[in-house]
């Protein structure tokens, strides 16, 4: 196990240093699917036509598909992994009880599924350009050897017939979730794996992140008339469906018979989710240039929380659009379903029975994934921190600036505290780790969500928050629909700030080095105050040192880090800033002479903004007695 993980780290280190190119090629998919659901057996059959365009410079001799639902079978890799994590004690509660590392939603539940409760996806036939192909199912991955290769810059047509059984809900997908939603249909169809400039990504479904090919989806779902459907895409036949999709005042004419066929189209997305329930309440809210849809099961709580959520979305969007860029589709659906919150293109499945603030928080988090998972769509398995971390950062800002009681606070304190807890736990791993291969859920979770958010907030400390914010816009403009990697992101920030940041990426992503700067000594010489700052950690950083004198003056002493080759702009024009010579990281300490006797100094503080993730702040501040 350890050896395998070592290899994975080496592969990832290589990928982080790959060069940036904004004209990066993308494979392209065009799916046409027609599925028919038997709600009495929870099975469905499907026909899938896939036009696959190889825009790469490479000849492809085989292709891979995801068969995610095969994970919900006893003995699957997901089952094995969950049970192994259940043996690791990661913390203790106040009574001394050990908290085990497994996901409370999964635990050993997969091992107990009966044949009628498991999930599966069985490929019944597969042809390429009309010729029958042979394939092999390896757990959640379908390996297809091609009889003729796919040449660069060419399109082939795959025709597949498949049969699936909807699992009892364990994780994300499935039937009868804990809040009673009938069908949460994510990862529900055989899906072509992504091939990019880092190669194929046939990542077995163990637990976590996703990665897909952009393209156009045309999906027809035939199901019992009683069900209301929600999902990715635009409904093409609202007047044959009704259920709140029809334009107000339009007459709905449903076909005779037991079933209805729902026809959705979704342009330029990398996945397609849907959910169904016989009792969905459906409301809509016009927001800017798109319509937000809300699907929930009405009860005493949701009767007030979900309409209130709908009313909160326009203000949230005004903030999001200004800071992170515009939402590019005409529709987004907040859908009660799944087992927490999970993002998909143009839709999310979220738990819906909680209190208002929890509902708002999860809704904003999942919706922000439309930017970092939907549009920017870094390979989440390789760079989960660029998806979950950036999403967390944007979520915290959006919530913090739209809820009155939170305005004016620093919104990232929680992320820093989680990161510090992980450092203390001893379970920390470099965030270059593949999402599925972390030793613990604890390290994966904090690294991806919290350290990823710290990465961005601390970057604001290094290059200035205004540069970081402008860089986020530039990242959105230059890289959406192009699957950027970590190197691409830091290049954007280098261009925006004019500073060298390779070292920051290296230390933050590929190591578990820790920042710890300390006020080492303060003394008076020749009527001036001499301050020595020591690098007590092993991660170099530029230094902001705030000096306050007893007569009420404030001075910011700024020491750039030599390998930045430049200074961040003054972030606060109301405080005088003195820029010192750069600190060469090879030098263990740095000496500043203040133009005042020690008796006049009131206080000294390294990074009063606390954006630098200094693991020991007890040595950062000195106050005169």
Q: Footprint of Zn ion on this chain (CB under 5 A)?
A: 388
What count of other Cβ atoms lies within 10 Å of the Cβ of residue 101?
23
1 vs 104, which CB is nearer to Zn ion?
Answer: 104
* Bridge partners, residue 555, by sequence: 547, 576
Whole-number Å distance between alpha carbons of 585 and 590? 10
Reference 368, options 433, 319, 412; nearest CA is: 319
Please report how close the Cβ of residue 210 comes to Zn ion at its closest, in angstroms. 11
Reference 214, options 23, 25, 27, 370; nearest CA is: 27
Please report how close the Cβ of residue 347 comes to Zn ion at its closest, in angstroms. 14
Please report how close the Cβ of residue 388 comes to Zn ion at its closest, in angstroms. 5
395 vs 494, which CB is nearer to Zn ion?
Answer: 395
Please report how close the Cβ of residue 365 comes to Zn ion at its closest, in angstroms. 6
Please report how close the Cβ of residue 380 comes to Zn ion at its closest, in angstroms. 9
388 vs 607, which CB is nearer to Zn ion?
Answer: 388
- Determine contact, residues 149/60, Cβ cutoff 8 Å: yes
Please report how close the Cβ of residue 412 comes to Zn ion at its closest, in angstroms. 16
37 vs 397, which CB is nearer to Zn ion?
Answer: 397
State which residue has the least CB distance to Zn ion. Answer: 388
Please report how close the Cβ of residue 203 comes to Zn ion at its closest, in angstroms. 17
- Determine contact, residues 406/400, Cβ cutoff 8 Å: yes
Question: Exposed/middle/buried for 444, CB within 10 Å: 0-12, 13-18, 19+?
Answer: buried
Residue with tokens 């999709």, as numbered in its chain? 245
Whole-number Å distance between alpha carbons of 81 and 88? 11
DSSP tag of 566: S
Please report how close the Cβ of residue 369 comes to Zn ion at its closest, in angstroms. 6
325 vs 542, which CB is nearer to Zn ion?
Answer: 325
DSSP tag of 617: G
- Determine contact, residues 585/504, Cβ cutoff 8 Å: no
76 vs 373, which CB is nearer to Zn ion?
Answer: 373
Both tokens of 293, joined, read 């849809």
Whole-number Å distance between alpha carbons of 318 and 341? 22
DSSP tag of 349: E
Angle between helix axes 390-400 and 452-463 (nearest 10 degrees) is 70
Alpha helices in 346-464 (DSSP H): 356-369, 384, 390-400, 413-425, 441-445, 452-463
195 vs 385, which CB is nearer to Zn ion?
Answer: 385
Please report how close the Cβ of residue 391 comes to Zn ion at its closest, in angstroms. 5
Whole-number Å distance between alpha carbons of 505 and 515? 14
Please report how close the Cβ of residue 367 comes to Zn ion at its closest, in angstroms. 10
Both tokens of 126, joined, read 């597969």
388 vs 428, which CB is nearer to Zn ion?
Answer: 388
188 vs 372, which CB is nearer to Zn ion?
Answer: 372
* Cα dihedral 318→319→323→327 (10° resolution): -40
- Determine contact, residues 515/533, Cβ cutoff 8 Å: no
70 vs 381, which CB is nearer to Zn ion?
Answer: 381
């Amino acid at each position: 196990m350890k050896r395998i993980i070592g290899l994975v780290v080496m592969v990832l280190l290589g990928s982080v240093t790959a060069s940036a190119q904004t004209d990066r090629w993308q494979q392209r998919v065009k799916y046409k699917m027609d599925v028919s659901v038997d709600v009495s057996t929870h099975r469905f059959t499907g026909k899938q036509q896939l036009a696959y365009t190889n825009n790469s410079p490479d000849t492809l001799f085989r292709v891979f598909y995801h068969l995610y639902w095969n994970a919900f079978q006893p003995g699957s890799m997901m089952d094995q992994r969950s049970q192994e994590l259940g043996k690791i004690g990661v913390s203790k509660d106040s009574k001394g009880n050990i908290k085990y590392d497994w996901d409370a939603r999964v635990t050993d539940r997969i091992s107990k599924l009966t044949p009628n409760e498991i999930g599966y996806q069985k490929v019944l036939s597969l042809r390429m350009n009309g010729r029958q192909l042979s394939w092999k199912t390896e757990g959640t991955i379908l390996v297809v050897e091609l009889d003729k290769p796919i040449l660069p810059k060419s399109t082939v047509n795959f025709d597949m017939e498949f049969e699936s059984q909807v699992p009892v809900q364990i994780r994300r997908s499935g039937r009868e979730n804990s809040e009673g939603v009938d069908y949460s249909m994510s990862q529900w169809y055989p899906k072509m794996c992504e091939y990019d400039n880092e190669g194929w990504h046939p990542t077995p479904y163990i637990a976590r992140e996703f990665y897909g090919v952009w393209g156009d989806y045309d999906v027809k779902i035939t199901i019992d008339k009683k069900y209301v459907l929600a999902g990715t895409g635009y409904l093409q036949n609202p007047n044959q469906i009704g259920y709140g999709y029809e334009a107000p005042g339009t007459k709905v004419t449903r076909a005779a018979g037991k079933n209805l066929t729902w026809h959705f189209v979704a342009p330029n997305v990398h996945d397609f989710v849907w959910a169904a329930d016989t009792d969905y309440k459906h409301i809509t809210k016009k927001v800017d240039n798109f319509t937000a849809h809300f699907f929930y099961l009405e009860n005493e709580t949701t009767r007030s929380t979900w309409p209130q959520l709908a009313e909160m979305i326009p203000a949230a969007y005004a903030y999001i659009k200004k800071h992170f860029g515009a939402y590019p589709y005409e529709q987004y659906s907040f859908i009660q379903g799944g087992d927490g919150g999970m993002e998909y293109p143009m839709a999310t499945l979220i738990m819906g029975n909680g209190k208002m603030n929890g509902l708002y928080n999860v809704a904003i988090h999942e919706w922000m994934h439309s930017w970092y998972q939907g549009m920017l769509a870094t390979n989440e398995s390789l760079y989960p921190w660029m998806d979950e971390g950036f999403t967390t950062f944007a979520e915290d800002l959006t919530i913090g600036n739209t809820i009155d009681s939170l305005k004016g606070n620093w919104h990232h304190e929680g992320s820093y505290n989680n990161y510090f807890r992980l450092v203390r736990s001893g379970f920390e791993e470099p965030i270059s780790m593949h999402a599925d291969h972390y030793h613990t859920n604890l390290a994966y979770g904090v690294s991806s969500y919290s350290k990823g958010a710290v990465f961005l907030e601390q970057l604001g400390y290094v290059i200035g928050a205004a540069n970081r914010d402008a860089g986020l816009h530039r990242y959105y403009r230059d890289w959406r629909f192009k699957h950027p990697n970590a190197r691409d992101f830091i290049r954007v920030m280098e261009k925006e700030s004019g500073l060298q940041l390779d070292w920051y990426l290296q230390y933050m992503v590929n190591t578990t080095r820790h920042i710890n700067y300390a006020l080492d000594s303060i003394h008076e010489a020749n009527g001036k105050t001499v301050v020595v700052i020591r690098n007590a950690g092993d991660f170099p950083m530029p230094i902001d040192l705030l000096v306050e004198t007893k007569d009420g003056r404030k001075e910011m002493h700024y020491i750039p880090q030599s390998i930045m080759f430049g200074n961040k702009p003054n972030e606060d024009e109301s405080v005088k800033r003195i820029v010192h010579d750069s600190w060469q990281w090879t030098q263990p300490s740095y000496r500043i002479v203040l133009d005042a006797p020690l008796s006049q100094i009131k206080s000294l503080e390294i990074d009063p903004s606390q954006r630098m993730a200094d693991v020991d702040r007890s040595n950062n501040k000195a106050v005169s007695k």
